[in-house]
């Protein structure tokens, strides 16, 4: 019923001039497919196992383990993971050092999911992220390797120590993946944004658009270049650049010039927006574009 209501409203909104270029109907269709998969817990179990494999060498990111054979369509038994909800640290809890480290770990995790693995947890709200190991973390022992060594010497009377400082991701029923061509396009667009190549961003979007009725291509390219350049040069620190704000302005520009993006970008973009928002709440100076630059430049070089 929820999906039916969403589909109906998306079709009605798409009748408003300009709004059909937001691909709302297609986005709801994609969301419906994801939700249909989520009610089959076998999909979530497979997703958790895939994430564990991909993050095996990153000890600051953890996922619960499905306990087979206790996994069916309607029931999944998994390991219990103790920890504090991330939402606690979005308020007053924790030192600035802890918050900065949590934000950095989350950003590294997101970049790996998006640009390395092409397998993105698409439901990364604060309730689905736990923080472990805070009791053992201190600025004097902020190195993760040092924290691992400390685990052997700590004595905890009430419950086991939770080392090292790490994030535990729950509820992996919804994941986002892009087809190879779409992934290369996404990387190319993001790379052009990182490098401040505004006109190239416009060219890539037009080339890969689902549909467009752009009458003044040169104007679209010029406005996109102005938007990207302004976003990157109009602040003292790149850390003050908010990708969420930048993307919202990009979408407004697409509506104005009647350019329609592929709908399967939506889940990836939303995951970036949500996690970037969480990261900035913990560390206002965090910069996803600067952090992504080495991955994107390396990826671009491999294609030449």
d(CA 123, CA 175): 8
Token pair of 55 as six digits: 């993050």
Out of 123, 171, 182, 287, the active site residue is: 123
Dihedral through CA 41, CA 47, CA 51, CA 53, nearest 10? 100
Task: Output DSSP code: residue 126.
Answer: G
- Catalytic residue flag (residue 123): yes
Phi, psi of 178 (to 5 degrees): -110, 150
C-alpha angle 49/143/242, rounded to 5°?
A: 75
198-208 and 217-233 are packed helices; what angle lies between their axes, rounded to 10 degrees? 130
Taking alpha carbons only, the member of 180, 229, 227, 228 closest to residue 208 is 180
> Is the torsion defined by CA of 86, 89, 94, 99 positive or negative?
positive
Taking alpha carbons only, the member of 176, 172, 196 closest to residue 265 is 176
24-38 and 266-282 are packed helices; what angle lies between their axes, rounded to 10 degrees? 80
Phi, psi of 39 (to 5 degrees): -80, -10
Catalytic residues: 123
């Amino acid at each position: 019923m929820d999906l039916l209501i969403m589909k109906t409203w998306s079709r009605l909104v798409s009748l408003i001039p300009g709004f059909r270029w937001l691909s709302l109907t297609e986005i709801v269709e994609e969301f419906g497919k994801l939700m249909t998969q989520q009610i089959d817990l076998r999909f979530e179990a497979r997703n958790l196992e895939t994430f564990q494999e991909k993050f095996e060498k990153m000890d600051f990111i953890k996922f619960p383990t499905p306990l087979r054979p206790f996994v069916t369509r309607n029931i999944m038994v998994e390991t219990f993971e103790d920890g504090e909800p991330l939402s606690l640290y979005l308020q007053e809890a924790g030192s600035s050092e802890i918050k900065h480290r949590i934000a950095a770990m989350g950003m590294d995790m997101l970049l790996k999911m998006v640009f390395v693995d092409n397998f993105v947890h698409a439901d990364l709200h604060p309730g689905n992220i736990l923080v472990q190991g805070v009791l053992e973390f201190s600025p004097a022992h902020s190195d993760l390797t040092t924290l691992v060594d400390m685990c052997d010497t700590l004595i905890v009377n009430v419950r086991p120590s939770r080392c090292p400082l790490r994030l535990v991701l729950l509820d992996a029923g919804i994941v986002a993946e892009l087809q190879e061509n779409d992934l290369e396009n996404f990387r190319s667009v993001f790379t052009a944004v990182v490098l401040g190549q505004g006109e190239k961003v416009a060219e890539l979007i037009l080339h890969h658009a689902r549909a467009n009725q752009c009458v003044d291509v040169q104007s679209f390219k010029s406005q996109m270049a102005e938007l990207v350049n302004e976003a990157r040069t109009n602040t003292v620190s790149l850390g003050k650049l908010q990708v969420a704000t930048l993307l919202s302005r990009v979408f407004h520009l697409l509506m104005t010039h009647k350019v329609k993006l592929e709908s399967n970008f939506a889940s990836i973009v939303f995951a970036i927006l949500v996690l970037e928002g969480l990261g900035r709440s913990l560390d206002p100076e965090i910069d996803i574009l600067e952090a992504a630059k080495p991955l994107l430049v390396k990826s671009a070089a491999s294609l030449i």
